Copies of this chain bind each other. A is one copy, B any other.
């Protein structure tokens, strides 16, 4: 999961570890947040594998301006790209994704053995997929949620009390809520797919010309 999140973020902009961690926490929620102890080793591993590489290390300036806070990463990345040594924050390692990393990202995005948290991250970066792949991702998830719902109704025996019933009901509602969400995503995906199929046939729309390689 951490690889997916790192590659997804680095595909959008170059970042250094510390900033990466912040955006990661933002993405998956402060809770279950990734720690340095897993982030840095993960970055090292990805670098060794050639999926990311350090760019502009040690020369980069950083925006210390607190700002809205969440913008500092973008500023840092911006300055990193410019190579401007504004105030001279030191041994920071700004990472960028490689072509190999992008391939790996696409693979991870398609992985169907993903757990719940990983699925969330897949959704967060699923713009990197082709419309049809995105749709397939959502459909798989829908099937999985329906399976859980079925399991849930099948059992229901055993000791029960107020709290266990309440818990069970709440869980069911949560899954149902997830299903509604997924259904919306699926609808949107299908619409998009139909639209792009239409444009491909007689180029009505000025959009999406580049997807020659499938569909």
Copies per complex of this chain: 2
A127 partner residues in chain B, CB cutoff 8 A: 161-163
One of B30, B74, B158, B170 near A74 (C-beta < 8 A): B158
Interface of chain A, main secondary structure: helix
159-200 of chain A: CB within 8 A of chain B = 159, 161-164, 166-167, 170-171, 173-174, 177-178, 181, 184-185, 188
Given contacts A148-B31, A151-B30, A171-B29, whether A157 and B68 have CB atoms under 8 Å apart is yes
Does chain B have a CB within 8 A of A211? Answer: no
Does chain B have a CB within 8 A of A66? Answer: no
Mask of A10-50 contacts with B, CB within 8 angstroms, 1/0: 00110000000001001101111000000000000000000
Q: Is the CB of B71 within 8 A of A164?
A: no
Q: Is the CB of A155 within 8 A of B70?
A: yes
12 contacts between A and B (CB under 8 A): A12-B159, A13-B159, A29-B152, A30-B151, A31-B115, A68-B157, A69-B155, A70-B156, A70-B157, A73-B158, A170-B181, A174-B174
